[in-house]
A and B are shown apart, each in its own frame.
Chain A
Amino acid sequence: MSTVSSFSRAPETERYRAHEQRAVHSFVDQSGNPDFVAIRRSRDFARVNRRLTRFVFPATGLFLLWYMTYVLLAAYANDFMSHRVFGNVNVGLLLGLSQFVSTVVIMVLYSRFARNKIDPEIAALRERAGASNS
């Protein structure tokens, strides 16, 4: 599908020239479709895939651990959570609010990481496979 759309978007000569320049590294097979086997075996795909998983798995593990710590404290450490920090605000409330903070922090970090480190690499892979980057 995507090859059709890029075909209709770019003039044929321009597309041909672009194809010529990258002929060695092109991920398009003979019938003009993306060559998934070649892409998966390529070093560029392996790198972006590794980079991505090295961010998302530790981040997921970290937030789940942090959340479950909070839940277990709320369930089993009543005295600790009920300790007043200032006024009527206790440890439980502050830890609860800190879950909001950690969620936002992880979200913003991932958003930046994906935009700066992942999106450009994926765009390059997509171009070589003849997929549009609109």
Chain B
Amino acid sequence: MTLAQSTAGNPVLNVVIFVTIVAVTLFIVYRVSSRNATTADYYAAGGAFTGVQNGVALSGDYLSAASFLGIAGAIAVQGYDGFVYSIGFLVAWLIPLLLLAERIRNTGRFTMGDVVAFRMRQRPVRAAAANSTLVISAFYMLAQMAGAGGLVALLLDVHTTGGQALVIIVVGAIMIFYVLVGGMKGTTWVQIIKAALLLSCVLLMSVFILGKFGFSLSALLEQAVNNNALGEAVLDPGSRYGKSGTSKLDFVSLSLALVLGTAALPHVLMRFYTVPNAYQARRSVISATWAMVAFYLSTLVIGYGASAIVGSSAIKAAPGGENSAAPLLAFSIGGTVLLAIVAAVAFTTILAVVAGLTLTASASFAHDVYANVLRHGRPAPGSELRVARLTALVIGCLAILGGILAIGQNVASMVALAFAIAASANLPTILYTLFWRRFNTTGTLFSMYGGLSICLVLIIFGPVFSGTPTSIIKGVDFHFFPLGNPGIIAIPLSFLLGFIGTMIGKADQVDPVRSDEMEVRAVTGIGAS
């Protein structure tokens, strides 16, 4: 218990620093959001950000609490297998860079639905795009909010469920304010501030840790081995996923989901619309990738540093378990002040990521479902924006509710599941529609709904939901699918379904000029707004 108390540092200081950051971001959101009168402002900040600004925001959107706390903790406790997350999350950025960012900027306006429905039958395809966007966002958001609950316990010394729920409500309310008042412009600035804070924080910590070991990686690893329950094995692959044939396959499946899922996350795709043109979209990805190279290299140092300095058994014993590695390390090297800063940054991270997800989900509902499916592309003036704000409010409240229900649940792998769903429901369709002229509406619906439902079924009947001690539903066992991550099955099947659907479906009755227009627009941006 003494450890638990000491890890909380000084809750008052934690709160003060967090409130300061929130106050600064709220002020900026309020200042920049003076004109948020059109859907283009609300969804895409009028496309007015530069590539570098948007790149920093992109890294802010992407580097969630799972990245920061989860990976550092996984490396600290399980060693090398945690590092593989870092690599997958980083390498994945080559897909948006090489294949998607510029083409998506050129063909769409606000949502993923704009791209996939460009030359297809509008209503069914937009409905499918909105469905997958909402499911992916829900999985992603729930994981973030559950992380918030754990963080509250660790950093604010609030251990009762009621107290944690109260904190989640407050955090959720701030997030809703960001989205409603700030729209995309305000949310982007929150991401930029958060990314800058997070990056400086992890870089300073890494340099400090390396300095402590005479800038010798080998010396750092030596100490990490000495203070880890796994011993030498902490440096080698297999401590987490090497136990059996199934777990090895699960590891391959997870890696595949990470590398293919990133490019298909709706809130990442939506970030390509906040810049004026394709060139700036390319620069966004390049800036974001540089930021993430620095970040993920730091996770290696921070993870092994936590093992070396705090020790794996102390991390496991702390409230929050693995997730507490980075905060505990901050406390050991920088005392209560650094802990408070890291805590505040972690909170801001959750806040910003959830805000980005809420905005994306509300845009998808208002733009794809309301304006295009229900109103046939002719919504009453101003109504789409009203619906978007209302949806954001509803989604925000659902996120708060989900976060409260998820307190104490093991949802660490939920982020990886969101990647698997994105990779199977969205990626095949996006690639086919951009690069395969024959692809049609039937193929789109087969791939999106097929990928989505295969993935969901395998998740629900997999070990994440039931049958193991760490499952979400305890006491019953209805799992028959052995892998925690369904990517390796669902992603290839979704590609196959898209192909089969295209072959058996009849050619679309759309204007053939529309396909020419999409092809030209995707490459050149001619006709893009």
Residues of chain A at the chain B interface (Cβ within 8 Å) = 1-2, 27, 33-34, 36-37, 39-40, 45, 48-49, 52-53, 55-56, 59-60, 63-64, 67-68, 70-72, 74-76, 78, 81-82, 86-90, 92-93, 96, 99-100, 103-104, 106-107, 110-111, 114, 119, 122, 125-126, 129, 131, 134
Contact = CB atoms under 8 A, between A and B. Distances in A.
B218 A100 contact: no
A71 B83 contact: no
B235 A82 contact: yes
Given A40-B519, A45-B523, A114-B282, A100 B252 contact: no
A73 B291 CA distance: 27
Contacts of B219: 87
A119 B242 contact: no
Given A63-B94, A88-B235, A110-B97, A103 B251 contact: no
A60 B98 contact: yes
B469 to A, nearest CB: 24
B510 to A, nearest CB: 14
Contact of B94 (A71, A106, A122): A106
Contact of B97 (A49, A107, A131, A134): A107
A99 B91 contact: yes
B217 interface: yes
A39 B222 contact: no
A24 to B, nearest CB: 19
A74 B84 contact: yes
A126 B516 contact: no
A124 B162 CA distance: 63
Given A93-B80, A103-B293, A78 B236 contact: yes
Interface residues of B, number: 56
B135 to A, nearest CB: 25
A27 B523 CA distance: 15
B98 A59 contact: yes
Chain B interface, >50% SS class: helix
Contacts of B521: 36
Contacts of A55: 98
Interface string B433-460: 0010000000000000000000000000
A83 B405 CA distance: 45
B515 to A, nearest CB: 9
A131 B525 contact: yes
Contacts of B84: 71, 74, 96
A131 B251 CA distance: 48
B304 to A, nearest CB: 10
A89 B218 contact: yes
B527 interface: yes
B380 interface: no
A45 B522 CA distance: 12
A88 B221 contact: yes
Given A96-B84, A125-B526, A131-B525, A59 B94 contact: yes
Given A64-B259, A92-B237, A111 B286 contact: yes
Given A71-B256, A82-B235, A103-B293, 15 more contacts: A33-B527, A34-B520, A74-B251, A90-B235, A92-B80, A93-B83, A99-B87, A103-B289, A110-B97, A111-B286, A122-B524, A125-B524, A126-B524, A131-B524, A131-B527
Contacts of B513: 36-37
A56 B93 contact: no
A68 B39 CA distance: 41
B99 interface: yes
B529 interface: yes
B387 interface: no
Contacts of A74: 80-81, 84, 237-238, 251
A51 to B, nearest CB: 10
A45 B237 contact: no
A72 B527 CA distance: 44
Contacts of A107: 93-94, 97, 286, 289
B523 A89 contact: no
A68 B435 CA distance: 23
A75 B248 contact: yes
B165 interface: no
